[in-house]
Amino acid sequence: MKKWTNKGDKPTRHGFGEGVLEAAKINSSVVGLGVDITGSVSMNFFADAFPERFYSMGVAEQNAVGVASGLALSGKTPVFSTYGVFSALRDADQVRISICYNNVHVVVGGAHAGISVGPDGATHQALEDIAVMRTLPHMKVISPCDAYQAKEATIYAINELDGPVYVRFGREKVPNFMDENYPFEFGKAQVLTEGSDITFFSTGHMTWEALQASEILKNENIGARVVNIHTIKPIDKAAIIKAASETRAVLTVEEHQINGGFGSAVAEVLAENQPTWLKRIGMPDTFGESGQPRELMEKYGLVGANIAQKAREILSRLK
């Protein structure tokens, strides 16, 4: 199995911005909407290249969703992005009615997701967005693991999908480790390492941490399978059931509230199809706080060493 290495740290928000730009080069119907933080969410890549196709809405996120829906109904392909706490939470009513109820093709970018936003603190750390977005009818939810995958997923979301799409990504630089040998396939999980003892189902930035945990356990003769689930909705049920049936336990890891998010989505699949010993790792029903990204990840146990320790605890109970 491939050994995963970091090719250089890069923010997933840059991958998103690069994807929007590349999609727009191919598709002249792509238009962008900004809400005064264009550079922060990397929409400036598109705005600089296609100023005539970019609309600055000011600090009016809810209005921007309505405009995006109208543009989609008029034959355009709108991309609207802001911090996830706004695009998924503040705008929840407008996304639900204007975009999802009408089932129009709008790509919504949820930036600054997770605790690793760092110094901006609880108000800007999107930790509930997966839970909200995955419950909305017609909405598709994508959570890429690195900048390369963010770019490929964004291009696909814009030019290949129909209906509402939510793409989740972060602020800080994270390891960039994917490559063209593992292409983005919408709705298909990626098995990154094999193992028969425990399966780590991961999404977003946590996939790298799951890989680190797998390496730690490998040195202890514990086989941890790492499955990257970049498409949370529709989720790859077959891959989840297969991995759970072939390993002794399952552990989900996400940079999100433990309630209602990615781990809950995996648990729903297993509860109905493959009852399995399962542990969820995520934010423990608490808001984030201001701090350095890595310090916060360590404090809340969202790092490889803690994932490995939780796996040991689960497996010790199954002896």
Q: What are the structure tokens assigned to 45, written together?
A: 């890549």
Say which CATH topology domain 9-175 has.
Rossmann fold (3.40.50)
| pLDDT value of position 319 | 77
3-class secondary-structure state, position 123:
helix
- How far is residue 261's CA from residue 264's CA, in Å, rounded to a whole number? 5
Q: Which amino acid is at 103?
A: N
Domain extents for the chain? 9-175, 190-317
Per-residue pLDDT for 1 more than 70?
A: no
Q: What are the structure tokens assigned to 72, written together?
A: 């989609």
Q: What is the mean pLDDT of the chain?
A: 97
Whether the Cβ atoms of residue 231 and residue 142 lie closer than 8 Å to each other: yes
Q: By percentage, how much of the chain surpasses pLDDT 70?
A: 100
Per-residue pLDDT for 41 more than 90?
A: yes
pLDDT tens-digit readout, 85-128: 999 999 999 999 999 999 999 999 999 999 999 999 999 999 99
The reply to whether domains 9-175 and 190-317 share a CATH topology is yes
Sequence-ordered alpha helix ranges (H) in 74-133 = 84, 92-94, 129-133
Per-residue pLDDT for 304 more than 90?
A: yes
Sequence-ordered alpha helix ranges (H) in 119-236 = 129-133, 147-159, 206-218
Element (H, E) at 79: strand 77-83
Which residues make Cβ contacts (< 8 Å) with residue 132, sequence separation at least 6? 88, 89, 92
Q: How is domain 190-317 classified at the architecture level of CATH?
A: 3-Layer(aba) Sandwich (3.40)
pLDDT tens-digit readout, 256-272: 999 999 999 999 999 99
Q: Nearest-CA neighbor of 264 among 174, 168, 166, 133?
A: 133
113 DSSP β-pair partners:
126
Whether the Cβ atoms of residue 165 and residue 139 lie closer than 8 Å to each other: yes
pLDDT tens-digit readout, 148-167: 999 999 999 999 999 999 99
Sequence-ordered alpha helix ranges (H) in the chain = 12-26, 44-49, 61-73, 84, 92-94, 129-133, 147-159, 206-218, 237-246, 262-273, 293-299, 304-317
Per-residue pLDDT for 2 more than 90?
A: no
Q: Is the pTM of this model over 0.85?
A: yes
Identify the band that residue 3 occupies on the pLDDT scale cut at 50, 70 and 90: confident
Q: What angle do CA 105, 111, 114 make, to 5 degrees?
A: 125
| pLDDT value of position 272 | 97
Summary count for the chain: helices (H), strands (E):
12, 14
What are the C-alpha distances in Å from 173 to residues 1, 3, 144, 296?
Answer: 26, 21, 14, 15
Q: What are the structure tokens assigned to 252, written together?
A: 């989900």
| pLDDT value of position 180 | 84
Phi and psi for 11 in degrees, rounded to 5?
-70, 140
Whether the Cβ atoms of residue 170 and residue 220 lie closer than 8 Å to each other: no
Identify the band that residue 26 occupies on the pLDDT scale cut at 50, 70 and 90: very high
Report the relative pairing of strands 173-175 and 140-142 from DSSP bridges. unpaired
Whether the Cβ atoms of residue 109 and residue 167 lie closer than 8 Å to each other: yes
